[in-house]
Structure 1
Amino acid sequence: MEKKYVAEPYKIKVVEPIAVTSRAQREEVIKKAGYNTFLINSSDVYIDLLTDSGTTAMSDNQWAGIMMGDEAYAGSKNFMKLQEAVREVYGFKYIVPTHQGRGAENILSQITIKEGDYIPGNMYFTTTRAHQEMNGGTFVDVIIDEAHDSANENPFKGNIDLKKFENLIDEVGADKIPYICVAVTVNLAGGQPVSMKNLKEVSKLAKENGIMVMYDATRCVENAYFIKEREEGYQDKSIAEILKEMMSYADGCTMSGKKDCLVNIGGFLAINDEKLYQKATQLVVVYEGMPSYGGMSGRDMEAMARGIYESVDYNYIHHRITQCRYLGDKLSDAGIPIVKPVGGHAVFLDAKQFYPHIPQDEFPAQMLAAQLYLKSGVRSMERGIISAGRDKDGNNYHPKLELVRLTIPRRVYTYAHMDVVADSIIDLYKERDKVKGLKMVYEPPVLRFFTARFEPLK
């Protein structure tokens, strides 16, 4: 059956030239960058799929809002607009603006976690786990087992395994669990959603044990779309209605506004508990700024408030998901191993299957990302053993998923760009037996995937 893909629900008003480089130029660039795509200058990149964080193309309405910036040090009217948008669209009472999502993670971790605590979650995220561990906590993965299998097509692979959560409560005691962190969607599982049924069940179990539910709401609109598409009883509900119900099962959330809020910078911590809010406002002054702007300017808060309303428009999110699916379908139809089903913000290549002859300790995903850049100037990123980092004893984590993330910025590229990406990967797959692994020659102590450097094995 012929697949249908919806056209872009926008017109292009401004264009930005992008680099077209030669193979010889890219060989110099990747060598200089230590085979780490994070260390490549954007001026040397043709199609940039490194991240969807802060790479959104803002709308004319948002750019108009930029001119309405009230840069008052305290009590900015743009903060009032942002607070109103968060309350109306997400339903949380209090908001603490931050410079981006990890600023919110830092504050949440400091006000809730004490030495010896455990924080269950549906698969780790790099910065989230780093903040939890730096404040004395231990992350415990309680995602369903299917999430660790790239070929499994469970429609809600982001779900919490309630038995795993319950076992942790029995093992360490509810008083050692300040909150459960639920990512909606789950980035490192391939952008996989959580069902509404699961969110209700998690909320019920947590409340029975006096444990808070905190969302990583970075891509919550994408999660709402998948619920509308896949979960019985939600087909006729609007994205806004589904999102509001999702949020009603949480006590708060951290938000990187650089994703589903459709802006280039900013984030926030949203919570319902007034005492917790007061603690957060004390810390935000130390790390970010006044409680009425945190780490954001007035104009950025205005753009975010407008972006929040735009994000729940069905035509926008339908195209967003469809564009990801288009790239995934092209690759899957060509026999390329990818994470299934295709998630909401990216297509993930299964590097273990792509390069089965390269051991995980020789970084197959990092090498695949480097090879893709060499082939066509397309920048992607590793999400495997390097991103997973080391445990407290200094040993490498060995995640079951060794992935390359092809992250699609919002409202930036066309289907023709996706064709270029797909064709490059298909060509690489034909040459896969010739490729060897990498060795790490520089490793920072924290979040090593950002700045580590590598050399090809001889």
Structure 2
Amino acid sequence: MKKKFMPEPFKIKAVEPMYLLGREEREEAIKKAGFNTFLLRSNECYIDLLTDSGTNAMSDRQWAGLMTGDEAYAGSRNFYNLEETVREYFGFEYVIPTHQGRGAENILSSLTIKPGDYVPGNMYFTTTRFHQERNGANFRDVICDEAHDPNRDDVPFKGNVDINKFQALIDDVGAEKIPYICLAVTVNLAGGQPVSMGNIKAVSELAHKHGIKVMYDATRCVENAYFIKTREEGYEDVSIKDIVREMFSYGDGCTMSGKKDCITNIGGFLCVNDKDLYTQATAMVVQFEGMPSYGGLAGRDMEAMAIGIREAMDYDYISHRVNQIRYLGEKLEAAGVPMVKPFGGHAIFLDARGFLSHLEQEEFPAQALSSAIYRESGVRTMERGIVSAGRDVKTGENHKPKLETVRLTIPRRVYTYAHLDYVADSIIELYEKRETIKGLQWEYEPSCLRFFTGRFTEK
């Protein structure tokens, strides 16, 4: 009989010791970090759920692949292996490696956006919107309304684009002002929510009808494919590989952070089908990243990324990955802890407004909750609310997202169910004394991407 939660589909070959600091040491550490978990040192964190970006455990095959690194300055054979792998699994014609996903975002935004353009997307992501706005674009959120409601657990694809919103933007500003739609699969800040194949097709049809490119944020495309396989009719017997390939067949390119669904510690790439855009991108990658055949990466890292792409398509791997999130979510849900539902593919997103109902949004409840979780347990998490949303580039006013969340992000192949038990028990204990958590105020606010390096004090 198959168990509800199967054991990890891997054996442990190497270990890294973990240490839990005492309560007083954790108090001192978070104060020294300005109540910003990004500024904690890694050795101060017991279980690190800050991000799944580059925090993955690589396989024995990937580690073996590192030893085959061809570190030639130009024409590395590892690049050609990566290029062949991306073409096979993603289907795009041209591949430009970059040091990580935001390198690809920078190139795409710089080459396609003119001041005054509009870029629609199914909810913003921090670095993506930064590069779009830096190049003069106006971001427009065209995600379905249900994505902004953490309690709507009856919508299996909360990452879907609202086609009527997309059409309204085209009618309002004109298709010539929209260089592309940014389609994230999955949608990080909505709670790791997926996009259905049916919606992808509809977005593609509308966009291409008006001469608008469809550019994916492909960072967690394998997780999105898993949800299509398990939630969308007609795909239950289709392989993850074939679902990924079909998803991308409706688009014109993608940006990719290899630090997520390529299961590596560094790397990314930009894919396009347009030869002219590819030629421009290769000229730009030389300016900012490196030669078009390495893009800021060592040959060994490109080899690990190519191997990781193949490993990520394994159903047992991705099923366990997503079920770890579900396991943690169900434990918290049973205790009444408020969170975004349904559970996403890479993290549990605590509803900080529901958790800390005594705090106003301007008191940064998600930032305060993330700090309190560390203080309580040594578990590092991340704010995803008003701080991450930043300020309007024109008015200077805070963006006030409806979702004010704390992200508990599970690295790939790193932690076991026992680690997640500790996380759940710690948060449940904190929830029972949540009224003791104080709000925060700015001590230092950077001019952009403030969540990375900003500092706070308690009110």
Q: Under a length normalisation based on structure 1, what TM-score does the superposition of the two structures give? A: 0.99
Q: How far does the alpha carbon of each residue in 1:291-312 deviate from its partner, in whole angstroms, 9 at most, with x for none?
A: 0001111000000000000000
**Following superposition of structure 1 onto structure 2, how do residues 271-286 of structure 1 map, counting pairs within 5 Å?**
271-286=272-287
Find the counterpart in structure 2 of residue 248 from structure 1.
Answer: 249
What residue in structure 2 maps to residue 38 of structure 1? 38
Correspondence for 2:385: 384
Aligned residues: 456
Q: Which residue of 1 is the match for residue 125 of structure 2?
A: 125
Distance 1:337 1:275 in 2: 48
Partner of 2:213: 212
Q: Which runs of 4+ in 1 moved over 4 A?
A: none
Q: Distance in 2 between matches of 1:383 and 1:83?
A: 34
Matched residues in 2 for 1:83 and 1:19: separation?
40
CA distance in 1 between counterparts of 2:149 and 2:228 reads 21
CA deviations on 1:92-146 (whole Å, 9 max, x unpaired) are: 1100000000000000001100000000000000000000000000100000000
Q: 1:339: which partner in 2?
A: 340
2:104 maps to which residue?
104
Distance in 2 between the 1:219 and 1:191 partners? 9
How is 1:285-364 mapped onto 2 (pairs within 5 angstroms)? Answer: 285-364=286-365
What is aligned with 2:445? 443
Q: CA deviation at 1:4?
A: 1.1
1:198 aligns with 2:237: no
CA deviations on 1:406-432 (whole Å, 9 max, x unpaired) are 000000000000000000110011001
Alpha-carbon separation, structure 2, partners of 1:117 and 1:327: 41
Residues in 2 aligned to 1:244 and 1:290: alpha-carbon distance in whole angstroms: 27
CA distance in structure 1 between the aligned counterparts of 2:214 and 2:35, rounded to whole angstroms: 39
Give the counterpart of 1:407 among 391, 406, 409: 409
1:311-337 deviations in Å (ceiling 9; x for gaps): 000010000000010000000111000
In 2, distance between residues paired with 1:276 and 1:410? 33
Equivalent position amino acid for 1:442 in 2 = Y
SS of 1:213's equivalent in the other structure is strand
Deviations 1:50-92 (A, max 9, x none): 0000000000000000000001111100000000000001101
| Equivalent position amino acid for 2:288 in 1 | Y
The aligned residue for residue 186 of structure 2 is 185
Amino acid in the other structure paired with 1:191: G
Residue number in structure 1 paired with 2:239: 238
- In structure 1, distance between residues paired with 2:19 and 2:180: 45
Give how far 1:3 is off.
Answer: 7.9
- 2:419 is aligned to 417
Q: Which residue does the alignment assign to 2:71?
A: 71
Unaligned runs of 5+ in 2: none
Q: Distance in 1 between matches of 2:251 and 2:220?
A: 15
Q: CA offset at residue 435 of structure 1?
A: 1.8
Give the secondary structure class of the aligned counterpart of 2:358: coil
Match of 1:160 in 2: 161
Tell me the distance in 1 between the aligned counterparts of 2:189 and 2:18: 28
Shift of 1:204: 0.2
Instruction: Find the aligned partners of 1:263 and 1:177 in 2 and give their Cα distance.
Output: 33
Cα distance in 1, alignment partners of residues 440 and 263 from structure 2? 36
Cα deviation digits, residues 28-53 of structure 1 (max 9, x gap)? 10010000000000010000000000
- C-alpha separation between the residues in 2 aligned to 1:246 and 1:434? 46
> 1-side partners of 2:385 and 2:317: how far apart?
30
Letter in 2 for 1:50: L
Report the CA distance between 1:434 and its aligned residue: 1.8
Distance 1:80 1:435 in 2: 53
Q: Distance in 2 between matches of 1:266 and 1:436?
A: 38
**Distance of 1:6 and 1:149 partners within structure 2:** 31
1:46-65 matched pairs, under 5 angstroms: 46-65=46-65
What is the aligned counterpart of 1:454 among 446, 453, 456? 456
Letter in 2 for 1:400: K
Deviation for aligned residue 1:19:
2.0
% same residue: 69
SS in 2 for 1:215: strand
C-alpha distance in structure 2 between counterparts of 1:187 and 1:18, whole Å: 28
Query: Counterpart in 1 of 2:6?
Result: 6
Provide TM-score, normalisation by structure 2.
0.99
C-alpha distance in 1 between matches for 2:274 and 2:385:
36
Deviations 1:150-177 (A, max 9, x none): 0112100000000000000000000000
Deviates more, 1:19-28 or 1:140-149: 19-28
Alignment deviations for residues 3-39 of structure 1 (CA, whole Å, 9 cap, x no partner): 8112100000000011211000001100100000000
Name the CA distance, whole Å, in 2 between partners of 1:329 and 1:15.
28
